[in-house]
Amino acid sequence: MSMIERLRNVALWIDERLYISRIFAATAGHHVPRSSSSWFYVFGSGTLLCFMVQIVTGICLALVYQPTAGQAYTSLEYLNYQQHLGWFLRAMHNWGSNFMVAIMLLHLAQVFLFGAFKYPRELTWISGVVLLLCTLGMAFTGQVLRFDQDAYWGLGIGAAMAGRVPIFGPAIVHMMLGGPIIAGATLSRFFTLHVFVIPGTIIAIVSMHLRLVLTKGINEYPVPGKPVVKETYIEDYEAEIKKAGVPFFPKAISKDLVFSGLVLMGIVFCAAYFGPAGPHGVPDPGQINTAPKPDFFFLWLYAVLSLMPDYLETVLILTVPFIAIIILFAVPFISNTGEKSARRRPIAVLSVLGIFAVLASFNYLGRFAPWSPKMDAWTSATLPANYLEGRAPLERQGAVVFHSKQCINCHSVGGAGGLRGPTLEGVATRLTSDQLVRQVIQGSGNMPAYGKNLSPAEVAAVVSFMQTLHKPSEAPARDATQSALAQK
Amino acid sequence: MAVRELDTQVKTTPGVLHEELPRRAFLLKLGFLLNGIAGVFVGVPVLGYLFSSFRTTGPFKSWVPLGPITSFPENKTSLAKYQNPNTRPWDGQTTDIPCWVRRMEGEKFQIFAINCTHLGCPVRWFEQSHLFMCPCHGGAFYEDGSHASGPPPRGLYEYKYKIENGQLWVEGGQLPTLSQPLS
């Protein structure tokens, strides 16, 4: 008996007892519509692959990582600099999560545009929404496990949002932080969520998601003008499978395999090229010179929070997420039958484009954060020399006040300074000197009143500086009544 | 349902003694009951452990020393740290809670939480313009903690304080939020 034959006999012996080949035939070998072997159908398996990368790299990281507030940061540094290949595993875990969120969003958009949520696949969609929420939960809890300044203050932001809930606010904050304040217990519970609770839930729901793909079949490639009719759909689908079905393995899986291979190479390449993320700064609450910013999954939220009107803020924070989640869950019931093809569903296409455009713009804005003052502009930004050349001493004095009283943290001149307030470029053409004085002393809306904090001499100096801020070709603003009175 | 199915199965199986039937049904009921009771014995402690934070309803705030009042010059605002009173050994640096101490004339103080009232980011004090500014969304507060500009819905959170034997004490230990400010 040759070696191969012996191995074959061992395999057959095991299969006789475990029925592996039968399970395989009933799952990977199940018949799918020939049309579903498409490049558009690869994102689901791509997301699953990322999840597997996260499990493997996550287990590796847990071998070294210390989930205590006192040592988490040190263990991350150890992983980065001392543990053999620790930096690479951290980078793979980070990029695996980036790829997972990105491919999952593509999967979501694809199944939405292809009408895959319609009868009889409502539960497949619903379980997918749960998986989306779980993945975002993993992203947030994972960011906390990278226990640095961003994580510490990110928890504070989460608590500040939860603390706006009426009546139950304090209890929710207490539950979230594991105590009255951010401390060791907070990290422990985020660790438990990130490593046990949410991954366990994901594994269970993914099983259900895949089971539904087997019981209700994969969505056929939609054909315009062929709407879903409840009475006939299942019959038609089964007839199509009988007529032109192909086994998923080996006939339809090839594109998934190619895409998965590319994703895996993408993760490895990004991890090797860009390296791990952070940790940024020791999580010492006393180090307050920090401007916390979330990872890109939540950057849009950070932008939304700073751009919405103050008086609506609490209401929007507490209602919009729930409304959005309810709408997501309700999609298969809002439109249960009818056209599947995106060519016949203009509103669906526009919604997807709109949502992606809005999220992308908010994320873009979030990177630059024009609403944040530049906290160090008053010591680090330099005014271009032509703003000082040929100026009178009082005007130059005003430029010093403009710097030293931190006006420049929010207002820019000559490209230097913050973007929180309007640029003072050309302000002399917009406001007269009286209006400038009033604005400085009283402030308004988004500007603090400087009346108490500037001496009259400093106000005079900074206003005379601002009056020089106009183009040579444009005359400064003047008060017509004043000049008329002067002529009399 | 299951019991009835079992019964019919047993009844139609030849050679099974009829006396066995009530005993099987009884055993099944007993099994459910025992597991139910045991489940309560397991579940109650687990839930009690999980939600223990609701049992200890505070007060989480207690008086903590900030140092001698002489270390805070008059008419100045400076950063100080106090030890979280509810600390555990593995808390690391998170036990050092920062706050802004403003000493006015004599023994009059104002002690502000570090957290912006908008979304909890750490506000910074600017001595030159006498303003607290938040790096996140640009909230600003005057030196007395009142709201100056930007999105925060109220002024800075203010700790209670007391002076004993020349020592400044602060009532700390809880993260202030809009629904649970410090005082």
Q: Which domains does chain B have, with CATH numbers?
A: 2-53 (no CATH), 62-172 (2.102.10.10)
What are the two backbone dihedrals, phi and then psi, of residue B63, each rounded to the nearest 5 degrees?
-80, 125
- pLDDT of A2 over the 90 cut: no
- Are A192 and A142 in contact, with CB atoms under 8 Å apart? no
A-B contacts (CB, under 8 Å): 191
Q: Is B173 on the interface with A (CB under 8 A)?
A: yes
Q: Is B25 on the interface with A (CB under 8 A)?
A: no
pLDDT digit string, tens, across residues A425-453: 888 788 887 888 888 888 877 888 887 78
The average confidence (pLDDT) of chain B is: 84
Q: Which residue is associated with the tokens 């053409």? A: A429
- DSSP for A361-425, please give it: HHHHHHHH-TTS--TTHHHH----GGGTTT--HHHHHHHHHHHHTTGGGT-EETTEE-SSSPP-T
Facing residue for B149 by CB, picked from A73, A446, A452: A446
Condensed to tens digits (0 to 9), the pLDDT of residues A449-466 reads 887 788 888 888 888 888
Cβ(A403)–Cβ(A465) below 8 Å = no
Q: What is the pLDDT of residue A405?
A: 83
8 Å CB contact of B122 and A288: yes
Give all domains of chain A, ordered by start, each with its CATH number: 15-368 (1.20.810.10), 377-479 (1.10.760.10)
* Both structure tokens of A438: 């009033």
Residue A285 is predicted with a pLDDT of 84
Place B10 in a pLDDT band, splitting at 50, 70 and 90: low
Mean local confidence (pLDDT), A187-194: 94
Span of A21-25, A98-102, A141-145, A379-383 with lowest mean pLDDT: A379-383
The pLDDT of residue A296 = 79
Residues A373 and A409: beta-carbon distance below 8 Å: yes
Mean pLDDT of chain A: 88
**Mapping DSSP to helix (H, G, I), strand (E, B) and coil, where does residue B66 land?**
strand
Average pLDDT over every residue of A356-370: 87
Best-predicted range by mean pLDDT (A129-143, A460-474, B6-20): A129-143
Facing residue for B60 by CB, picked from A180, A314, A407: A180
DSSP letters for A51-95: HHHHHHHHHHHHTT---STTTHHHHHHHHHHTSTTHHHHHHHHHH
Cβ atoms A32, B53 nearer than 8 A? no
Of B88, B91, B151, which has the smallest distance from its Cβ to A310's Cβ? B151
Give the ranges where A146-276 is alpha helix by DSSP (H): 149-162, 169-177, 184-192, 198-216, 230-244, 253-274
What pLDDT score was predicted for residue B57?
Answer: 60
**Is the separation of the CB atoms in A183 and B84 below 8 Å?**
yes
Using a CB-CB cut-off of 8 Å, the residues of chain B touching A169 are 177-180
Q: How many alpha carbons fall within 13 Å on the CB side of residue A44?
A: 22
Contacts of A450 in chain B (CB under 8 A): 129
Name residues 273-312 of chain A within 8 A of B (Cβ).
282-286, 288-292, 305-306, 310
Question: B106-118: per-residue pLDDT in tens?
Answer: 888 899 999 999 8
Instruction: Report the pLDDT averaged over residues A250-277.
Output: 92
Q: Which of residues 331-390 of A touch B (CB under 8 A)?
A: 371-373, 375, 378
Residue A336: CB atoms within 10 Å: 14
The predicted model gives A330-359 an average pLDDT of 91
User: Does the pLDDT at position A119 exceed 80?
Assistant: yes
Model pLDDT, residue A48: 96
pLDDT at A196: 96
The C-alpha R_g of chain B, in whole angstroms, comes to: 31
CB contact under 8 A, A373 and B86: no
pLDDT digits (tens, 9 = 90+) for B32-41: 999 999 999 9
Q: B58: which 2 tokens?
A: 């505070």
What pLDDT is recorded for position B16? 54
